[in-house]
Amino acid sequence: MYGPLRGSSFTEETRTVRHDVRRGLTGVTEGTTAWSARDARFLTAVIKSLHQRLIFGGREALCCVKLAAIISKIMETVMPGLKELLAQREALQQELEQAHQQEADRALREIVAKMREYKISLQELIGTRAHARMVPPVANAKYRDPATGATWSGRGRAPQWIADKNRDDFLIQPSLFRSQ
C-alpha cells in the first residue's frame, strides 16, 4: 500500500492517504508531531504519483487539493522543528568550542606550573637553533686550459679540454694553487 499509486486502486489508496493524513493532523493540532519518516516517504510517493498522472477531474482533483493543503500543514509543523534543531546544534557547537578552550587553558596552566616546579626555562624547552651545516670550501684550481684559461680543481667529471689527455700537461704550478 505504501508506494506509488497505480491502476484501478488509485481511488482506494487516495482515501487511505486522506485517512492517514487526517489521523496525523489530529496529533499535530494537539501540539505533537505524529509524522514519521515512513509517513513522509509515503506522502512523497503519493505526490510524485499525482504529479505524474496530472489528474484534474472528479474525486481525484478534490483529493489533490486536500493533499496540497495537508502538505502545506506538514511543512508548517515540520519546519519550525527543523529550525529549533538547527538552533540547538549551533548552541551545542558553541558550548563545545568553549569547553575545548577551557580545557586548553587548564592544560597550559598545568604545563607552566610543572615548568616552574622543575625550574625549566622557556629557552630550555624550546632549545637552540641547530648549527648550520658546514659548507665545504671551494677547491682551488689544479689544472688550467692554456687555450681558454678555464680551470678545473680535479674533482668531479673532467671537462672536455682535459679528458683523455695527460693531466700533467695542464697542471698549474704549485705556487699558483692559492691564487684562485
Return the percentage of the chain with pLDDT > 90, whole number. 25
Looking at the chain, how many residues does it have?
A: 180
Q: What is the pLDDT of residue 152?
A: 92
* 111 found inside a domain: no
Judge whether residue 151 has pLDDT over 60: yes
Q: CA-CA distance, 62 to 58, in Å (whole number)?
A: 7
Q: What is the pLDDT of residue 109?
A: 95
* Number of structural domains the chain divides into: 2
Q: What is the pLDDT of residue 36?
A: 60
Higher pLDDT, 88 or 33: 88
Is residue 84 domain-shared with residue 150, that is, in the same domain? no
Higher pLDDT, 50 or 34: 50
Q: What is the pLDDT of residue 24?
A: 43
Q: What is the pLDDT of residue 123?
A: 84
Judge whether residue 5 has pLDDT over 60: no
Q: What is the pLDDT of residue 139?
A: 85
* 37 found inside a domain: yes
Q: What is the pLDDT of residue 42?
A: 72
Q: What is the span of the domain harbouring residue 153?
A: 139-180
Angle CA(114)–CA(117)–CA(122) in degrees, nearest 5? 65
Q: What is the pLDDT of residue 117?
A: 94
* 1 found inside a domain: no
Judge whether residue 11 has pLDDT over 90: no
Domain boundary among 28, 56, 91: 91
Taking only the tens place, the pLDDT of each residue in 72-113 is 777 676 666 777 888 889 999 999 999 999 999 999 999 999
Count of CB atoms within 10 A of residue 5's CB? 21
* 174 found inside a domain: yes
* Residue 171: strand pairing partners: 143
Is residue 86 domain-shared with residue 150, that is, in the same domain? no
| Cβ-contact 77, 21 below 8 angstroms | no
* 26 found inside a domain: yes
Crossing angle of helices 10-29/58-117, nearest 10°? 50
Q: What is the pLDDT of residue 122?
A: 85
The model scores a pTM over 0.85: no
